[in-house]
Amino acid sequence: MITIDGNSLAVRDVVRVSREDSGAVLDKKALPVIKKSRAYVDRIIQEGRIVYGINTGVGELSNCRISPEDTEKLQLNLVRSHATSVGEPFTEDVVRGIILLRANALAKGYSGVRPEVIELLLSLLNEKVYPYIPSQGSVGASGDLSPLAHLALVLIGEGECLVGGKRVPSKEVLHEKKITPITLKAKEGLALINGTQVMASIGCLVVAEAELLMKNAQIAGAMSLEALKGTSKAFDEKVHAVRPHPGQMQCADNMRRIVADSAIIASHVNCEKVQDAYTLRCIPQVYGPIMDTVEQAKRVLQIEINSATDNPLIFADQEEVISGGNFHGEPLAFIMDYLGIALSEIGNISERTIDRLVNPNVSGLPPFLSRKSGLHSGFMISQYTAAALVSENKVLAHPASVDSIPTSAGQEDHVSMGSISALHAREILRNIESVLAIEMLSAAQGINFHDLQPGKGTKEAHTVIRKHILPVEDDRVMYTDIEKVRELLVSGEIVDAVERVIGQL
């Protein structure tokens, strides 16, 4: 069970709640500041002061005054009118992350909501109620307005939930779970829909997956190095010490440990080949910066998931309400675009390595990794699939954050498109999982052509693959093999086997 207070949530906590079904509770220590913030909102209404979003319209309509008797109606109307998203719904793990992050942001105590609103969000989470939230409709400022409105609808007993993949009226789901909908008070509707929690939820999951992906990428690269009878000399510690980027040095160390004690590499230490192609030799110089980018994305998300990102913000201690722009998704838009660009480079390296493995002119291996080439095509078309996925990634890697289409009659005249950045990064990562599966499958086939033992780590990876998939002797349907290796990558089975022998990557 995760305890939230608005200040101490970790990316790992988001993954636990999203993927491992951990529940969440509100820290009682957060209640005083939440209640104080709410009390100040009530005081504003009683005093008749004009404050954006509390007794005014929103966006371009911010100059419209709302009468005291209509302040609650305003919040209801905001939620209803903003729920305009379309497309495929977010998966349950993303939705769980959204709910958790919205509750945590409100628990910070600058949003002016009652504790009951936060507790209701956590009830959805803990009772496994999943609002139907379509994935398209956010421009990333004022935050993820439209998809968050779909979440807010469920809190008031409207909208829909997903039950077993089917859309069901939320009122029915709440009734079955014995959850009572809430009547929104002043400021609460706006507080629920203003924020960056959709892009942040996707971002946290992508970062967690990217950390595992990087380990798999290095293992795949090491397997390819051995299959192609490359050298480990380029990973020498002295080389990387004179260009000490953290990721580069870590990656070089990982590569040395993965191929340690390789009889394949030792067998050609004194061969005539002077140096390997860049796809092998420069793995630390390419994968290292990607590892650094993943870490930077994690740092940005760590700040964002413990931030107050709605508008206006209530500073009860100073008796001040400030309209600002913390809802703007630019920090996440930039870093998710950057992460997508960085991850796409794994595919670029991996696909070129696959091509080198299947190309008899450079591999020193049988054509297309088949002893019976001609009658058999072997791994020829697997490289085509990798090329298609890498080409798709080149389109997806175009940064969404460089675009901005003004909204709300020009009042919101610069937006981040951050949710698009996050979705693209996720699609890129999914494609690369399949590309790496093809590389590992090809490299495992290549290693089988050598009679010598591979390195400590590569041997374990090869053993896991061979436990599930036999070498290709005659042409067979390959897509199921690719799918299976991808499952081994995503589940962490290959990484776990390697780390048990050589230590953590």
Q: Which residue has the tokens 């990876």?
A: 461
Q: What is the DSSP letter of 245?
A: -
φ, ψ of residue 313 to 5 degrees: the values are -100, 140
* Full DSSP string of 10-56: -HHHHHHHHHS---EEE-GGGHHHHHHHHHHHHHHHHHT---TTTSB
| Contact (Cβ atoms closer than 8 angstroms) between residue 428 and residue 344 | yes
- How far, in Å, CA of 214 to CA of 292, rounded? 11
Cα dihedral across residues 322, 327, 328, 331: positive or negative:
positive
Alpha-carbon distances, residue 44 vs 9, 28, 48, 109, 495 (angstroms): 31, 26, 6, 16, 56
Q: Where are the alpha helices (DSSP H) in 83-112?
A: 92-107
- CA 334 – CA 404 distance, rounded (Å): 13
Q: 2: which strand partners?
A: 24
* 3-class secondary structure, 349: helix
Q: Give me the catalytic one of 40, 52, 110, 338.
A: 52
What one-character DSSP code corresponds to residue 161?
E
Q: What is the 8-class DSSP label of residue 90?
A: P
Q: Is 40 a catalytic residue?
A: no
Helix or strand or coil: residue 200? helix
Active centre residues (catalytic):
52
